[in-house]
Structure 1
Amino acid sequence: MSQQELAQLVGVRRETIVHLENNRYNPSLEMALKIAEIFQLPVEDIFQLNKKEEK
């Protein structure tokens, strides 16, 4: 699936998908759920929480 196709299905611009792929943008809960539904996968299979190291 192209970035443009995914963007159209989710209702966002292609640039938003690019930023998601490059970890420069965190999706809203609604967007994350839509993407998971499109790919028929659990959200946690697509998105992961990046834990910062505690000092």
Structure 2
Amino acid sequence: IRPAWSPPDDQKRTMTPRDAIRNGADYLVVGRAVLAQKDPEEAIELISLEILSS
């Protein structure tokens, strides 16, 4: 799962959190998009906002 604002890096098949929820996901696993940020809490907040805007 990669937020819309996160580069895909080495991942070939990615999906935004919003698309994953729309496609029926119950859980999201988000690693590098959060852990690689200077402010991981802000990254989580941005992901939450992205999901809520679905």
Give me the TM-score of the superposition, normalised by structure 2.
0.38
Question: Between Structure 1 and Structure 2, whose CA radius of gyration is higher?
Answer: 1
